[in-house]
Amino acid sequence: MPKTPSTSVRNPFDKPVWALAIHGGAGAIPKGDPAEAAYRASLDRVLAAGARRLEAGDSALDVVESLVRLLEDDELFNAGKGAVLNEKGEAELDAAIMDGATLRAGAVASVKTVKNPVTLARAVMERSPHVMLVADGAENFASSVGVERVPNAYFVTERRRKQLQQELARRKTSAAPAPGPARSGTVGAVALDRSGHLAAATSTGGMNAKMPGRVGDAPIIGAGTFADETVAISCTGAGEQFMRHHVAGGVALRMEHLQETVDAASSYYVRDVLAPGDGGLIAVDARGNAALPFNSPGMFRGVADSTGRFDVRIWEN
């Protein structure tokens, strides 16, 4: 059983029968920030919950949905409660989930009243004939299938209101793009279960002070989220860049067609394709190998597997 909390203690000869990675967004708090302990505690708690469930034999799909829900409910992260706000001061949420064994996928974008967008994404996958629903259509569907809705004010925190005001003020004097931390905190989970199945899920409020209606990479299957029988991927960072370069799908294609390892395929995008500062991704393959590369100042992340690996990090090391 994995330890909690700790860093890696691992027998290199063991082969994982399950594996799990989570992220809480690219871009980090400064080293020494008083919030560090809270972020670490949250990531530890979520990673441990996933490790317990995978150890007990739960499916990768159930585990990634439940872990993303926990992160959506935690206002530290830019997803669900505590999401960043659009220019009008509203939370506008995107999420996706994908089942690697069947290639079934579900996604929602620009929802403003769905407490856990990842659960609505799963309902789109399992209870509609479609892969993606957006805005009012997605919210009406939530009501019709009994997925919980809340007023938009539920998501809005003082911290995000301040970040919005700072960004709107900054734009009056500068045309430069927003610095990284303003968009940190997107959440994601990828898992391999004991049956050898993979799944991925991602959820986000997108970018601070985004235009109303802007949709990022997280809910776009193949851009910010993807899973097949080889690998499961969840991305975080400058969404427009991940969409242009088809990052999540590209990792899977390189592994399948170039026989690259999960590490090589993920690093190719993060080091050679994306620009420095764009972000990172988490990936787990069908053998239980994990890769968590990023090119931002940090990435909130954790990785665990059945060999006893259990590791939560924010910065490079």
Positions in the binding site for ligand ASP (CB under 6 A): 25-26, 183-184, 186, 204, 206-207, 216-218, 224, 236-237, 239, 279
* Catalytic hit among 4, 102, 119, 186: 186
CB of 18 to ligand ASP, least distance (A): 26
Residue sitting closest to ligand ASP (CB): 239
Tell me the Cα Rg of the chain: 18
Measure the CA–CA gap between 16 and 2, rounded to whole angstroms.
Answer: 12
Contact 314, 40 (CB under 8 A): yes
CB of 88 to ligand ASP, least distance (A): 17
Q: Is 106 or 279 the residue whose CB approaches ligand ASP more closely?
A: 279
CB of 40 to ligand ASP, least distance (A): 19
Q: Is 58 or 240 the residue whose CB approaches ligand ASP more closely?
A: 240
Measure the CA–CA gap between 147 and 252, rounded to whole angstroms.
Answer: 31
CB of 242 to ligand ASP, least distance (A): 6
Give one DSSP letter per residue of 208-269, joined into a string. TTBPTT---STTSBTTTEEE-SSEEEEEEE-HHHHHHHTHHHHHHHHHHHS---HHHHHHII
Beta-carbon contacts of residue 90 (< 8 Å; ≥ 6 apart): 112, 152, 156, 212
Q: Is 26 or 107 the residue whose CB approaches ligand ASP more closely?
A: 26
Measure the CA–CA gap between 151 and 297, rounded to whole angstroms.
Answer: 34
Q: Is 223 or 252 the residue whose CB approaches ligand ASP more closely?
A: 223
* Catalytic (active site) residue 186: yes
Which positions are catalytic? 186
